[in-house]
Amino acid sequence: MTGVKDPVKCPECGAQLHEVYTEANYGRVIIVDQCERCGGVWFDRWELYFLTDESLKTLAHVDTAAFIASNAIAPLKKNGYECPRCARELVSFIDPMLPKDADVTRCAGCHGLWLNRGTIGKYTSRRRELRGALSNRFKETSHDTRPHNAKIEMLKKLQKELDVKSLAYERPVEPQDEPIKAKAFAADMGILMLDALIGMVFKI
């Protein structure tokens, strides 16, 4: 999300989050919020997926330094983090785009993501792995002589493979909570991924 944001506090240690200007795809600028004390980063909806590799390195520098010094930094909370935007409880989040051992929580209200300290580097590595896997798939089909429409159908099938398999909570959903709509989320991510894939293959 671009534009000026109100000051927000770290859901993990309570320190104020600082705005960090990062570069996104197609030259866009995205403002994310990072805690200089514990290294965690808050991303509003979809922000994480659009950041460039260079921006991730910048965030990971602070994140890694805080992770190394974690023994001297005791978080004020162990669980029950609150969303810095809407104060709803953050819940564990599982996504094929994120590493399995990453500590990521998500707000069911505004759909923002909180990445705990040390997680940015893990996400960067995971993204490289996925990118390499996609690159190999495209190399296998680079000499494909099928018609354009047939290639589009192939990409649609690949999109299905990238659909979200599970979105998990650590606790039962309370009546006042709005459940995460897995199908809607998968559709949104599918559109984003398909758009990028078509651009890569056909250079649109």
Q: For 44-75, what is each residue's pLDDT tens digit?
A: 998 988 888 888 877 876 655 655 565 444 44
Measured between its terminal Cα atoms, the distance across the chain in Å is 25
In a domain, 11, yes or no: no
In a domain, 10, yes or no: no
In a domain, 187, yes or no: yes
Which whole-number Å values give the CA distances from 175 to 105, 172, 179, in the listed order? 19, 9, 9
Asked if pLDDT for residue 194 goes beyond 50, the answer is yes
In a domain, 190, yes or no: yes
DSSP the chain: --S-----B-TTT-PBPEEEEEEBGGG-EEEEEE-TTT--EEE-TTHHHHB-HHHHHHHHHHHHHHHHTGGG---S-SS--B-TTT-PBEEE---TTS-TT--EEEETTT--EEEPTTHHHHHHHHHHHHHHHHHHHHHHHTT--S-HHHHHHHHHHHHHHTS------SSPPPTTSPPP-HHHHHHHHHHHHHHHHHHHHH--
In a domain, 196, yes or no: yes
Maximum mean pLDDT: which of 18-27, 92-101, 136-145, 175-184: 18-27
Range of the domain at 98: 18-202
By percentage, how much of the chain surpasses pLDDT 90?
Answer: 15
Asked if pLDDT for residue 24 goes beyond 60, the answer is yes
In a domain, 6, yes or no: no
Q: Are 152 and 144 in contact (CB under 8 A)?
A: no
In a domain, 1, yes or no: no
| CA 58, 44, 185, 81 torsion-angle sign | positive
Cα 133 to Cα 65: distance, rounded to the nearest angstrom: 30
Domain count, the chain: 1
In a domain, 37, yes or no: yes
Write the CB contacts of 113 (distance below 8 Å, at least 6 apart in sequence).
Answer: 42, 43, 47, 48, 93, 104, 105, 106, 107
Q: What is the pLDDT of residue 83?
A: 94
* pLDDT tens figures, 135-187: 676 666 655 555 666 666 666 666 555 544 434 333 444 444 444 445 544 54
If one compares 24 and 6, the residue with the highest pLDDT of the two is 24
